[in-house]
Amino acid sequence: MLSTRAFPIRAAFSSSVFIAVGLSVITWTLPAQAQAPQPAPPDIRELKALYQRPPARPIENGALVELGRFLFWDSRISASGKTACATCHFPYLGWATTDDRSRGDSGRRTSRKSQPLIGLGHADGAPVGWDGRSATLEAQVKSSISTGSMSMHNTDTPVKLEVIEARIREIPQYVEKFNAALPNTPINIDSIATAIAAFERTMEPGPAPFDRWIAGDEAAISESAKRGFVLFNGKANCEACHSGWRFTNDSFHDIGTTTTDFGRGQQLKSVKAMQYAFKTPTLRSVALRPPYMHNASEMNLYDVVKHYEKGGIDRPSRSAEIFPLQLSEQDRLDLVAFMQTLTGMPEGEPAPKLPGR
């Protein structure tokens, strides 16, 4: 993708025809600026300043986070008693997976690859999930347990939510932990979701070689990776969506991958740009978790670069940030080398010993 900051907008465009939907809508476009003058390419120091990572998110309720950690790892909160959050979100893969699809609690394959949870505590209220169907992490947890991948909702042997809640209430160690974390609060799906979301917000990316480079250690990453960083922020326009220290601005785009999954368009049927659109995932520790994209359609990072080079499926909903690129083989390798510097070391944690087990 091409950065408007570093390079001219590639194609001049005429006035677009915008679609007006609904009642009494009167819209029209004003003439577009065909080739607006672009600022000069930024200094590398200015670029690096945009990637300074903030301190870890402060923990307000340590007991709640601890409770959430146990519940995250505990398969007893699923309908079958066999599926935990950690079943699809592995700690040493950026709290994600290398499976192209996960197998849900009902035994069926999920429709999309599990998203990484790493760094979500810094997402600042962005909708959660590939299609943004959940407004909060808490809502996502509740949805997953009650009707999603941890439920047997659509099988012949569904398990009522009350049964799952009762399982947790019957474990004295959990009752103790709930009382400490959320005094005078019933143990139910709401308090379970509150605890798990609190834990998920603590999943900080581990320090990566890239971070050491940003902090001033010139030997922390290779020259190839440094060139990749410049490409990432320039000619390749990756930073239009993967910006900032988390390498995502939590935006939604049709990047031209799928023809069957409407993604965000399922939530926003009347918004043209959201058809086939998916949430931009973080690139922190991205090298650890191939295959890539929501549908696992790219086997490795090199293939991902090739996808963006081609520009994906050209259609009305395709993001205007995406268009065919002119990359050399060295450019492709440099971009991959750069992404490989984002792997946190150390990162993740071992499974805890669960209450009542």
Q: Which residues bind another protein (CB under 8 A)?
A: 3-5, 9, 13, 16-30, 32-33, 36, 124-127, 132, 240, 249-253, 264, 268, 270-274, 277, 319-321
CB of 242: closest distance to another protein in angstroms? 12
Which residues are paired to 263 by β-bridges? 277
Question: What one-letter code names the amino acid at 228?
Answer: G
CB of 89: closest distance to another protein in angstroms? 22
| Cβ atoms of 20 and 26 closer than 8 Å | yes
CB of 230: closest distance to another protein in angstroms? 17
| Nearest one of 8, 97, 131 to 289, comparing CA atoms | 97
DSSP secondary structure code for residue 111 in this structure: S
Q: Which long-range contacts (CB under 8 A, 24 or more apart) does 245-248 make?
A: 245/51, 245/52, 245/53, 245/54, 246/119, 246/122, 246/123, 246/205, 246/282, 246/284, 247/282, 247/283, 247/284, 247/286, 247/342, 248/119, 248/279, 248/280, 248/281, 248/282, 248/283
Q: CB-wise, 289 or 318, nearer to another protein?
A: 318
CB of 243: closest distance to another protein in angstroms? 9
Q: CB-wise, 46 or 162, nearer to another protein?
A: 46
CB of 42: closest distance to another protein in angstroms? 11
Q: CB-wise, 29 or 98, nearer to another protein?
A: 29
The full 3-state SS of 139-206, as one line of letters, equals HHHHHHHHCCCCCCCCCCCCCCHHHHHHHHHCCHHHHHHHHHHCCCCCCCHHHHHHHHHHHHCCCCCC
Q: CB-wise, 125 or 346, nearer to another protein?
A: 125
134: helix, coil or strand? strand
Q: CB-wise, 3 or 97, nearer to another protein?
A: 3
Q: How far apart are CA 33 and CA 30, in angstroms?
A: 9
Q: How far apart are CA 98 and CA 110, in angstroms?
A: 14
Q: CB-wise, 109 or 269, nearer to another protein?
A: 269
DSSP secondary structure code for residue 103 in this structure: B
Q: CB-wise, 36 or 299, nearer to another protein?
A: 36
CB of 4: closest distance to another protein in angstroms? 5
CB of 297: closest distance to another protein in angstroms? 22
CB of 27: closest distance to another protein in angstroms? 5
Q: How far apart are CA 50 and CA 234, in angstroms?
A: 14
Give, in degrees to the nearest 5, the angle at Cα 106 between 94 and 149.
35
CB of 134: closest distance to another protein in angstroms? 12
| Nearest one of 354, 329, 294 to 81, comparing CA atoms | 354
Count of CB atoms within 10 A of residue 154's CB?
A: 10
Q: CB-wise, 177 or 264, nearer to another protein?
A: 264
| Nearest one of 112, 88, 97, 98 to 295, comparing CA atoms | 112
Q: CB-wise, 38 or 154, nearer to another protein?
A: 38
Which residues are paired to 90 by β-bridges? 96
